[in-house]
A and B are shown apart, each in its own frame.
Chain A
Amino acid sequence: MEAALNDRILLAHGSGGKLAHELVEKSFVKALANPLLAKLDDSAVIDFSGRLAFTTDSYVVSPIFFPGGDIGKLSVCGTVNDLAMSGAHPLYLSLSFIIEEGFLQSELDQIVNSIQQTAQEAGVEIVTGDTKVVHRGSADRLFINTAGVGIILEGVNISGSNARAGDKVILSGTIGDHGIAVISRREELSFSTSLKSDCAPLGGLVAEMINASPNIHCLRDPTRGGLATSLNELAKQSRVSIRIEEEKVPVREEVLAACEMLGFDPLYVANEGKLVAIVPPEDANKVLKAMRKNRYGKDSAIIGEVGAEKPGWVVMKTVLGASRIVDMLVGDLLPRIC
């Protein structure tokens, strides 16, 4: 029987009883169909060989539907991208829901559908999961946790501590799209923009980059805290300085305009489908070329380079030719953007 449009999730859907089983069978197993999940054992049992990458993240974005994506798509992309940034080939995810009583079944179906589509695109399977329903007011609509595993590709050694002086810094496209798209739909602040979140799974892009050069030193996805925070993390971890050029960092006019209005700096606004790569100079053009061929890297650009002096510093040459420090994000620019 098809769910009626106004059917709602009840506390009993998380009780482990009949309704709970029905929800799992109808909403999850069917949509996310794969043999490992369909077994419904207490754990997914998987054969593995090689070096394993393992990560987890929780998703509390508000609103749960935003231009260019929703919390479901985000919960797959975020975890897949964390695996990819370690040079891993993402394989399996777990999926865990915390749902506020009264949540619409139709919205849940929409989110599960979006999880399925994103997982399919990313080439990962959802192999285990859990559902809890909490009293109204105990959670804001819907929270998701995913964990993921992947296999590190042969001959790859990617880490935030591998940057060396002379390396080039490559950014995979425009910054700030996700953060601004999400906040544009906040009730208290809604403004109209044609902007969409850049939310995307980057496993394929990373595989093509590694294919072009297995010597990539660092990868990082500039999510919360934005590009500025990622570059600072890399500079500190590798004990190097990073110098970027303002004119080379791609930012959409809509993002610039929204940032001016809100008093933000695009360097600190979150992304969900971008990466920064630090690459030996001799491989930079090869990697850049490979990136530009991928749909998620077509606006890639070399934005700066790594230096040995003043370890831990990130400095930007401004459009005026002057220099300024790019510090880590202080405080909370935008709460609950992921």
Chain B
Amino acid sequence: MKFITEFRRSELAQGLISQIHRQSKTSVRFMEFCGGHTVTIFRYGIRQVLPKTIDMVSGPGCPICVTANADLDKAIALSQIPGIIVATFGDMLKVPGSNSSLEEAKAGGADVRTVYSTMDALKIAEDNPNKSVVFLGIGFETTAPTIAASILQAEEKGIKNYYVLSLHKLCPPVLRAILDSGELKLHGLICPGHVSAVIGSRPWEFIARDYGIPCVVSGFEPLDILQSVDMLVNQVESGERRVEIAYRRGVRPEGNQQALRLMEQVFEPCPAQWRGIGEVPDSGLKLRKKYQRFDAALAFDIAPGPTYEPAGCICGDVLRGVKTPADCQLFGKACTPQYPVGPCMVSSEGSCSAYYLYGGGFER
């Protein structure tokens, strides 16, 4: 089976599109939580082919976008300490903090290295025993298990110069916070595929049960998204409210038990700061006491100074789904992927970047 082209076949897509048009009667607003879904939706022009009854809004599912400026400033401050190598996924480099970015810090002489996996960061630590290597732990439930694994491996191998700045975020708690705020009336939720591959579909059940919102866990190809929209429409039109999995090739209801055990062993929930949303209880991960010696926030004295938010940037509103990138006065003018002001324009999974690159609705 061809795992990519099969999910991009135009005749199958046309069938799903007409089915959605036939079935959808009620005016609804669906949110795709995940930035990966946002990219697929814009890259294939999915909003253009849906009926007028369906309004799609993008959610906060871009880990880089939701990282608070204060946390970015901590990462940049760490890179300024002599003897520290900061290892990070490449997406983080360009994200502007209050005064600078890791890319600028690097150009100014800081040792910032892009890695493709946590194990690469661990290897840098092994290869540079006289330096301290800090891995920027940014991401959702998808990356947290691999970072947990790197910490366990560092312990096993007795690597003493490896640290993690844990800025991890958990998805279900932030969705509860968004729904509790009452800012946005939602009639359906496309739940993230990769996060659900780890946590399973059960953690979303409270959304259907407590808030009466249909949920479908989706994959990332255009046919996956169309199928998920179709399933949501089906639930809406038949008055059902439950969690379904469209992404059966990736997600089981119980999730990935091994990954969950790793996370549980190394991390415990803590409050976390989300850009545009504020502090959300139990939505972050910190290292358990046993592993605290790997915690960069405790090991180094970081004093990044006061935090500034860029004037005019509405990334926070975009992340909550209450405004679209086109509502921002900076969009496409002062803020472009080349000269980004806010994180949603930097990250490849950011709504502003997807909107700009693929011309959401051709407004540009």
Contacts and interface: CB of A to CB of B under 8 A. Distances in A.
B43 A253 contact: no
Contact of A320 (B4, B49, B348, B357): B49
Nearest to B359: A325
Contacts of B358: 324-325
Interface string B39-59: 000111110110000000000
A320 B48 CA distance: 9
Contact of B46 (A257, A322, A325): A322
A318 B357 contact: no
Nearest to B113: A188
Most chain A CB atoms below 10 A, which of B3, B14, B17, B357? B357
A5 interface: no
A325 B17 CA distance: 21
Given A189-B116, A331-B94, A323 B4 contact: no
Nearest to B94: A331
A53 interface: no
A260 B5 CA distance: 12
A247 interface: yes
B270 interface: no
Majority SS of interface residues in chain B?
Answer: helix
A315 B357 CA distance: 11
Nearest to A253: B2
Interface residues of A, number: 21
Contacts of A331: 94, 337-338
A324 B359 contact: yes
B25 interface: no
Interface string A320-332: 1111110100110
Interface in B1-23: 2-5, 8-10, 13-14, 17
B113 to A, nearest CB: 9
Given A253-B5, A263-B348, A327-B357, A321 B338 contact: no
Interface in A118-177: none
Contacts of B45: 318, 320-324
Contacts of A112: none
Contacts of B48: 322-323
Given A256-B4, A256-B5, A322 B10 contact: no
Interface residues of B, number: 33
A319 interface: yes
B316 interface: no
Given A318-B44, A318-B45, A330 B10 contact: no
Interface string A258-277: 00100101000000000000
Contact of B10 (A256, A260, A320, A323): A320
Given A188-B115, A325-B359, A319 B42 contact: no
A331 B362 CA distance: 23
B185 interface: no
Interface in B342-364: 348, 356-359, 362, 364
A280 B43 CA distance: 30
A189 B115 CA distance: 9
Closest 4 CB pairs of A and B: A322-B45, A325-B359, A322-B48, A324-B358
23 contacts: A188-B120, A247-B10, A253-B4, A253-B5, A257-B4, A315-B359, A319-B10, A320-B13, A320-B222, A321-B13, A321-B14, A322-B44, A322-B45, A322-B46, A323-B45, A323-B48, A324-B45, A324-B358, A324-B359, A325-B357, A325-B364, A327-B356, A330-B336
Given A253-B5, A323-B362, 6 more contacts: A253-B2, A256-B4, A318-B43, A323-B48, A324-B43, A330-B336
Interface of B: 2-5, 8-10, 13-14, 17, 42-46, 48-49, 94, 115-116, 120, 222, 226, 336-338, 348, 356-359, 362, 364
Interface of A: 188-189, 247, 253, 256-257, 260, 263, 265, 315, 318-325, 327, 330-331
